[in-house]
Amino acid sequence: MHDTGTVPPPAPDPQETPAAPEPTARDGRHARRFGLPVATALVMGNIIGGGIFLLPASVAPFGTVSLLAFGVLTVGAIALALVFGRLAARDPRTGGPYVYARGAFGDFAGFLAAWTYWITTWVSNAALAVAAVGYLDVLIPVGDHRWSACLAALVVQWLPALANFAGTRYVGAVQLTATVLKFAPLLLVAVGGLFFFDADNLGPFNASGGSGIGAVSAAAAILLFSYLGVESAAVSAGEVRDPRRTVGRATVIGTAGAALVYLLGTLSVFGTVSHDRLVDSTAPFSDAVNAMFGGAWGGWAVALAALVSMTGCLNGWTLLSAQTPYAAAKDGLFPAAFARRRRGVPTTGVAVTVVLASLLTVYNYTSGSAKVFEVLVLVTTFTATVPYLLAATAQIFHLVSGRGEQVDRGRLVRDLVIASVAAGFSLWLVAGAGYAAVYQGVLFLFAGVLVYAVMAARRVGRAGV
């Protein structure tokens, strides 16, 4: 381990980096390495959570210009996916952005990546659980009383956590099943809606009345949260079979698949539900299904699909929430308890994460203010950009410094362009998060600096310096 402030040692050559270790005997038969299908499902399942069921109505006030914002975001997300694939081929260890930032810039950068990513995961889990209650209320009335809604949100969080405690074998099974089940209704609207498409429903191109660039940025600010998760396979690289090859393929395929569902789904809803109705809709996919086939069963079907979607998303995010602290703890940058693993899963990280997310959920219901929680959700957009930006700049660092195996000038230029686009995309995410979210996010960031100071002091004390 190198000290912060010193020049870090060269990143290991991809031909020399040892493969991630196989699950140990202690992990037992419940630990199983992910293949390409499960790794791809992890990426798609984490990107496509509950947001897809609300996004069309959320961006409808901006008009169809929001589809352009979707396109721009997709380009940035694909660039990030390609960067993560290249970095995972260079260093296929569990930890994702943490591993890449620390390898390029040292302990402090690695800690910031781990810390901010960890915040992103458990705040996102709380957001997903609260959103899931809204869909559950369609099937089983739980929203009339605050405490029954709070209890339901806690149950939604703890069920995926229990799957994680059971081992990676069950995490992969739940993730793959949830991804397959939720795609049936999504594809029904995304593809089927095109056959019922009516251009008269689209409404104005720029309904906000402002500049086109401003409308794109405003719509993008709402859509940003929907693309968190492109790094999922890279973060869990240590649990993936043949990670040098599989992580990159799963990341690109999963991100492209999620983007296609997003774009087609939003376009189909725009074309099947009138713009005036869509602006005020609380269940846009339900309205789209009802417009396509008539009747009122769409709300039930979409609510069930949303619950399956968010349960699968929580399952994957719970695993990711423990992986980065696990990698950092092994290097002495997080408390040692986070390095404990059972059945292939860092159980301490899962437990701490679900407890923090549960506390945040309870706070959200007791405060009675949705605005506070919305700001915290936007905070995740800001905190996620820190590890994203560090990963993109780590790739630029390796390419420019000549660290690695680059010999093809054309490939070098291509990778530099992709990494630069990913870095620019990350900076745009910060701008889209808004001033309030950046302010709150910086407070979280500075709290991490204090934690790092304590951990660094303990390492120095143990070394006897």
3-state secondary structure of 35: coil
Q: Which residues contact 257 (CB under 8 A, 6 or more apart)?
A: 40, 44
Q: Which residues contact 348 (CB under 8 A, 6 or more apart)?
A: 322, 337, 338, 339, 340
pLDDT (tens digit per residue) in 99-151: 899 999 999 999 999 899 888 888 888 888 877 787 787 777 765 677 788 88
What number of CA atoms fall less than 13 Å from residue 36's CA on the CB side? 8
Which tokens in the block code for residue 187? 């594809």
Which tokens in the block code for residue 315? 């399952």
pLDDT tens string, the chain, 465 residues long: the values are 333 333 333 333 333 333 344 444 444 444 446 677 777 777 877 777 666 777 788 788 888 888 888 888 888 888 988 898 888 888 888 778 888 999 999 999 999 998 998 888 888 888 888 777 877 877 777 656 777 888 888 888 888 788 777 665 555 666 666 666 667 777 778 888 888 888 888 877 877 766 667 778 777 767 777 777 787 777 777 777 777 778 888 888 888 888 888 888 888 888 888 888 888 776 787 788 888 877 666 667 777 777 877 777 787 778 778 877 888 888 888 888 888 877 667 888 888 989 998 988 888 777 765 555 566 667 787 888 899 999 999 999 999 887 655 567 778 889 999 999 999 888 887 776 778 778 888 888 899 999 899 888 888 777 665
Residue pair 379/117 in contact by the 8 Å Cβ criterion: no
Which tokens in the block code for residue 43? 């990426």
241: left (phi over 0), alpha (psi -120 to 50) or beta: beta
- Dihedral over alpha carbons 235, 356, 122, 217 (to 10 degrees): -150
pLDDT of residue 144: 62
Query: Burial level of 295, CB count in 10 A (0-12/13-18/19+)?
Result: exposed
Cα separation, 206 vs 214, whole angstroms = 10
pLDDT of residue 389: 93
Neighbours of 380 (CB within 10 A): 26
pTM of the model: 0.76
Neighbours of 68 (CB within 10 A): 18
φ/ψ of 20, rounded to 5, equals -60, 140
| Number of residues assigned to the chain | 465
Which tokens in the block code for residue 163? 């799957």
Which tokens in the block code for residue 233? 């396979």
All domains in the chain, ordered by first residue = 36-463 (1.20.1740.10)
pLDDT (tens digit per residue) in 189-211: 888 888 888 888 887 787 776 66
Closest CA to 190 of 319, 55, 65, 96: 55
